[in-house]
Chain A
Amino acid sequence: GQNIDQPTEMTATEGAIVQINCTYQTSGFNGLFWYQQHAGEAPTFLSYNVLDGLEEKGRFSSFLSRSKGYSYLLLKELQMKDSASYLCAVRDGTGGFKTIFGAGTRLFVKA
C-alpha cells in the first residue's frame, strides 16, 4: 500500500527552529516535495528532493533518506507568517505522474 505519515500538529516559538518529519511507504519513488498551505489557500511549493541529502533554500531546508523512507523539513528563524500547514508529497515511480500527499502538519508559531 501507499502511506505518508506526518505529525498532525506542532507548536514552536518565533525565532526558533522546528523540524517536521515525514515517513513514506510507496510503490515507487520519483521524488519528494514539501508544500506550504495557509488556511483556505492553495499549496505553494517549498522544496524537492530526489537524491539523499540536504537541500537548503534560505530559511527552509529539506532532507531525504530514500533507504529509510524518511524526510524532514527544517524551518529556521521562525516567523509568525510561517504558521501554516506543511504537506509532504511523494511522486511514485510506477511510470506516471501520480503524486500522493500526506495529511499535512499544522504548525503554530507563537510569540
Chain B
Amino acid sequence: DGGITQSPKYLFRKEGQNVTLSCEQNLNHDAMYWYRQDPGQGLRLIYYSQIVNDFQKGDIAEGYSVSREKKESFPLTVTSAQKNPTAFYLCASSIGGKTEAFFGQGTRLTVV
C-alpha cells in the first residue's frame, strides 16, 4: 500500500540533545513538507522540499534542519537550538504545488 510513514509515533528526549524524526513516502511524490502543531493550534510550516537535493525554509525553521538526499525520504532534525521543541510533528507529501497533501500519522516529541 502506498503511503507516508513517520517514525516513531512517540519520542522522548532530554533537553540539549539533537533528535531526528523520520519521514518516508512511497507515493512517488516530488514535494515533501514538515509541519509543527502545538495544542489547539494549526499547522506551522518548518521546511519544505519541491525536489530532491533542494529544500526551503518555512515560517519557523530556526532550530531545525532537514535533508532531501532521496525522493522518498525527508528527515527532520530538531537541534538543541530549538527553544521549545515539545510538539506534534507532521510530515506530508504532494505530487506538486496544486495538489493536496497526504500526511503521515505524526510524531509526538516530548523534551524533558
Contact = CB atoms under 8 A, between A and B. Distances in A.
Interface stretch (A56-64, A74-82, A91-99): A91-99
Interface string B48-77: 101000001011000000000000000000
A99 B42 contact: no
Contacts of A87: 42-43
B7 to A, nearest CB: 14
A97 B99 CA distance: 10
Interface in B54-105: 56, 58-59, 90, 94, 96-105
Interface of A: 4, 30-31, 33, 41-45, 48, 50, 87, 89, 91, 96-104
B45 interface: yes
Contacts, number: 59
Interface string B25-37: 0000001010100
Given A33-B100, A50-B98, A97-B50, A42 B43 contact: no
Interface residues of B, number: 27
A30 B73 CA distance: 26
Nearest to B100: A45
A42 B23 CA distance: 14
A97 B94 contact: yes
Contacts of B31: 97
Nearest 9 pairs between A and B by C-beta? A42-B103, A103-B42, A45-B100, A101-B43, A97-B97, A101-B42, A97-B31, A104-B42, A97-B50
